[in-house]
A and B are shown apart, each in its own frame.
Chain A
Amino acid sequence: MANVLIKETLSANESLLKNEIGESFDTIYRHFSIPAFDRAEAVIVYISGMIDARVIDETILEPLMRLDELPQGESHVKDSDCIKVLADCGVFTAALKETRMLDKVCSAVLEGDTALIVDQCSTALILTTRKYEGRTVSEPITETEIKGPHDGFIENIQTNAALIRRRIRDHGLRFDSMKIGERTKTMVAVSYIDSLVDESLLKEVKTRLGRIVTDGIVSADYIEELISDSPLSLFPLVGSSERPDRICAALLEGRVAILIDNAPFVIIVPFSFWSFLHSSGDYYESFYFATFIRYIRFFAVFLCISASSIYVLLTSFHQEMLPTALALKIAAARNGVPFPAVIEAFVMEIVLEIMKEAGLRLPKSIGQAVSIVGTLVIGQAAVTAGLVSPLLVIVIAVAAISSFAIPTFSLSNTFRLIRFPVLFSTAFFGLLGYLAAIAAIFLHLMSLRSFGAPYLSPVIPFDRSGNKDVLIRVPWWKMNRRPELARPKDKVRQAPKIKPGPPSEE
């Protein structure tokens, strides 16, 4: 199939095509004749759901069927240049290309283009007529921000590229496309700014993408998993975002974005651990508040991992670490609870995870019922029945709410998982077990890399300039250099002294 050329006769070509892409109800073979070519037979092939019918009517069918006179008296159909003539003065379509390969014709038709084949002509014309039904650009669902732009990526890669282009007018903005997936032939575009991006990084991205030989790419997460540095790690090593502003900010730092057709998420590489705890909203609020919020998030991470472990550790091992009044409160709350604190905590965590999962996929109308049942059964009944202590319910709830405060869903899921090993380690060895588990997590984090960049950079290894935007966010007029994470070619972001102020006296 790969190298089959288009035949001379129309009927032969048509049967070849029908053999290849079939005669599904939406595959349309429209026959007509072109008056100017001695009423030569012609056929246009397209998929009805993927084209713009008006474009076909107005730019292909109408001009061709009315074309009764050729310029410069060229008249013969057998003329090998007939397709060129048609392209030059026959059809009105903006984008077209010629091909002699049947394979290309099929692919084009399946992508929503229209193929024009004329009898006695061994070249086909591919005319761009794509128009898919899809969402319009709307508010990103997973990364809502109060301030800042409210548009988000959609499933259409063209629109997504346009959303980026509208923000970055740099001449060096590139979208290098490739097709991944034997059957889905998904379009994947590697986007970067030519004058910033590190060549070796770009090469690595393209190599890793090129290595993917698979049946199909259905969503961005397929690619994420297939290009990760440490595929077995619990931690996400590749960033993704629904927000064009976030992607643009990454591109301006010299990073590489990967756009995938049919996926509203765009991948960013390299990505550091800290970036998962940042949100684009950090840059739309005052830097004082943004810094405060970042610390709140770090604290939320701590609570999410440790809340239940610390409860177990304090109630079962190190009662002397509690203030007396609190110790008495906990003892009173736990009075008559028949399980050890670990079992209590573990069961409640699991029940809560079940509730989260149940609430996630249920239709909204039933979702309410779940929350009522959950609140009543877990919050009230279990405590009243004396099966769990009310304090533990608070602890578990705090941990759950903390997991929602982590801005990136994938990292939040990681922490939801990781707290179970921490809990068990604590339950077996008390404070030592807890510390060992936390140390193990840190060691693992330190061993990770995202496209060559250390996962914990710029904190470990330490880089002073990079730390202006990690634990704190300094004001924009201080961020003179781009972060080192992606090793950008041009390190200077802005002029040195742009701190604003009132006009000077002189």
Chain B
Amino acid sequence: MGKIKAYLLAFIVLDMVILSGCWDMREINELGLVTAVGIDKADGSNRYAVTVQIANPTSAGSSENSSGSGGASGGSPVWIGTEEGSTLFDAIRKLVAISSRRIIWAHNNVVVIGESLAKEGIIPVVDYFTHNPELRMKTIVVVAKGNAKDYIPAKIGMETPSGLSFIMLESYRYLTAESVESQMLLISSTLKNDYGNPIISEVSLPKRAMQPASGKGGEQFAQTLELSGAAVFKKDRMIGWLTREECRGISWMLNKTQNTVVTVFDPAHDNRGVAVETSGVKAKIRSKIVDGMPEFTISISGSGDIAEEDASTNSGISEMKSDIARLVNKKIEEDVKNSLETIQKKYMVDCLGFAAICHTQNNEKWHEGIKDRWQEIFPKIPVSVSADIKIKTSTLNQEPMKIR
């Protein structure tokens, strides 16, 4: 009897172990891996439209090259579906009705927000995607010119499925510095901040990619997604766009660029073009409060190499280097000032985190009146900008290629 009881007990314990296992098991080939998602909300409507790009592993995993031009045909590397709902979660759950696979967000790289939704407020998007434990906080968030829906099937870079290209676009952003850093983590923390106004990169669809084959002479280039420019937000509502040059200015200020090309024209030598590749650029923002008014000083330092010269000069090495350095510095200062001008005067929104800098550097005075008046002070704050880029190269400087 005792033996039977022991066996029974062992059986029950083993059952507890086995029966409670496996509940969250799901095979990888039965999942829909989302690689990009676009979210729209038409003006005045209260329904969200969610468009997802789901990798179709059969062709995505195989080595055969595919164009990634979209569509839901069998051989395509991606499956694209769209669904509407009164909340985001509602719309996303409804996707199951057409997708045949359960959607997981763990591999999503990009959230594209439609322009009209951005203008109405991005809180629902940020909230849903930070609530969801599957989604990575490194996901890139961008604002689309127009409807986000059009961007999901578009050609994006060279990766397959095309959503993966976003990681690459984002990782090479520092080379041009014509957009801004806009990861989900950064945006959600900025929104939770007392004086945070996010800037989010912009995507557009210029016709720059060669058509696969079917170009009939006329339309040679197809639409491809481009990451450049940015959208300025006042709290969660978009209020306007920044151009790529203005983004560049912001990148200089906020230390977000390294190997950028600065092109300057040398008035002393027939406006010849000189391209300088910068490196080791560091920006320091200092603030002090004089008579109840904050003042900012931005100093940018670093070095650069001459990468290209359009015409030869007969000036000496050191002379020419200092000439070009002066021009580069001037150009950078201009860039920074232009973007400050737009942000301070046109949008009147502190999206650069100046408030935080002012607060940390002048804690006592910040609470003595500045904090409450920040909104009205900000457009009037004087900012002085100085750049000090040193030219390192001594090669290529005197006798570039000439036609004899």
Chain B residues closer than 8 Å to A314, beta-carbon distance = 28
- Are A331's CB and B57's CB within 8 A? yes
- Are A328's CB and B27's CB within 8 A? no
Q: Quick check: is A442 within 8 A (CB to CB) of the other chain?
A: no
Chain A residues closer than 8 Å to B162, beta-carbon distance = none
Chain B residues closer than 8 Å to A320, beta-carbon distance = 104, 106-107, 134, 136
State in angstroms the CA–CA spacing of A319 and B104 once bound together. 9
**B27 touches which of A329, A334, A430 (Cβ 8 Å):** A334
State in angstroms the CA–CA spacing of A329 and B60 once bound together. 8
Chain B residues closer than 8 Å to A328, beta-carbon distance = 33, 55, 57, 60-61, 161
- Are A428's CB and B17's CB within 8 A? yes
Q: Quick check: is A405 within 8 A (CB to CB) of the other chain?
A: no
Stretch at the interface among B18-26, B88-96, B273-281: B18-26
**B22 touches which of A322, A327, A332, A428 (Cβ 8 Å):** A428
Q: Quick check: is A420 within 8 A (CB to CB) of the other chain?
A: no
* Residues 271-310 (chain B) with a chain A CB within 8 angstroms: none
* Contact bitstring A290-332, B, C-beta under 8 A = 1, else 0: 0000000000000000000000001111011010110111111
Q: Quick check: is A110 within 8 A (CB to CB) of the other chain?
A: no
- Are A316's CB and B28's CB within 8 A? yes
**A319 touches which of B58, B61, B106 (Cβ 8 Å):** B106
State in angstroms the CA–CA spacing of A373 and B331 once bound together. 72
- Are B27's CB and A429's CB within 8 A? no
**What is the chain A residue whose CB lies nearest that of B19?**
A428
Q: Are A324 and B25 CB-contacts (below 8 A) given A332-B58, A332-B61?
A: no
CB distance from B64 to the nearest CB of A (A): 11
Q: Quick check: is B31 within 8 A (CB to CB) of the other chain?
A: yes
Q: Quick check: is B109 within 8 A (CB to CB) of the other chain?
A: yes
Q: Are A335 and B104 CB-contacts (below 8 A) given A315-B27, A324-B35, A340-B25?
A: no
Number of A-B contacts (CB under 8 A): 81
How many A residues face the partner with a CB closer than 8 A? 27
Chain A residues closer than 8 Å to B24, beta-carbon distance = 317, 430
* Contact bitstring B1-41, A, C-beta under 8 A = 1, else 0: 00000000000000001100110111111010101000000
Q: Quick check: is A333 within 8 A (CB to CB) of the other chain?
A: yes
Q: Quick check: is A17 within 8 A (CB to CB) of the other chain?
A: no
- Are B21's CB and A324's CB within 8 A? no
State in angstroms the CA–CA spacing of A11 and B164 once bound together. 100
* Contact bitstring A325-356, B, C-beta under 8 A = 1, else 0: 10111111111110011000000000000000
Q: Are A329 and B61 CB-contacts (below 8 A) given A320-B104, A428-B22, A429-B21?
A: yes
**A433 touches which of B21, B29, B57, B59 (Cβ 8 Å):** B21
Interface of A is mostly: helix
Q: Quick check: is A427 within 8 A (CB to CB) of the other chain?
A: yes
* Residues 69-113 (chain B) with a chain A CB within 8 angstroms: 104, 106-107, 109
* Residues 422-443 (chain A) with a chain B CB within 8 angstroms: 427-430, 433
* Contact bitstring A376-414, B, C-beta under 8 A = 1, else 0: 000000000000000000000000000000000000000
CB distance from B229 to the nearest CB of A (A): 26
- Are B28's CB and A315's CB within 8 A? yes
**What is the chain B residue whose CB lies nearest that of A329?**
B61
Q: Quick check: is B62 within 8 A (CB to CB) of the other chain?
A: yes
**B33 touches which of A324, A428, A430 (Cβ 8 Å):** A324
CB distance from A326 to the nearest CB of B (A): 10
- Are A333's CB and B25's CB within 8 A? no
- Are B61's CB and A331's CB within 8 A? yes
Chain B residues closer than 8 Å to A427, beta-carbon distance = 21-22, 25
CB distance from B134 to the nearest CB of A (A): 6
Interface centre among A327, A331, A336, A430 (most CB of B within 10 A): A331
Interface centre among A319, A324, A335 (most CB of B within 10 A): A324
Chain A residues closer than 8 Å to B21, beta-carbon distance = 427-429, 433
Interface centre among B22, B55, B109 (most CB of A within 10 A): B22
**What is the chain A residue whose CB lies nearest that of B35?**
A324
Chain A residues closer than 8 Å to B164, beta-carbon distance = 324-325
Q: Are A330 and B35 CB-contacts (below 8 A) given A324-B109, A325-B164, A429-B21?
A: no
**B107 touches which of A315, A324, A429 (Cβ 8 Å):** A324
- Are A327's CB and B107's CB within 8 A? yes
State in angstroms the CA–CA spacing of A334 and B164 once bound together. 21
* Closest 9 pairs between A and B when the two form their complex, measured CB to CB: A332-B61, A428-B21, A320-B106, A331-B57, A332-B57, A334-B29, A324-B107, A315-B28, A329-B61
Q: Can you add 9 more A-B contacts, CB < 8 Å, to A333-B61, A341-B28?
A: A324-B109, A327-B33, A331-B28, A332-B59, A332-B61, A335-B29, A335-B61, A340-B25, A340-B27
A-B contact pairs, 6 of them (CB 8 A): A319-B26, A324-B164, A325-B164, A334-B29, A341-B27, A427-B25
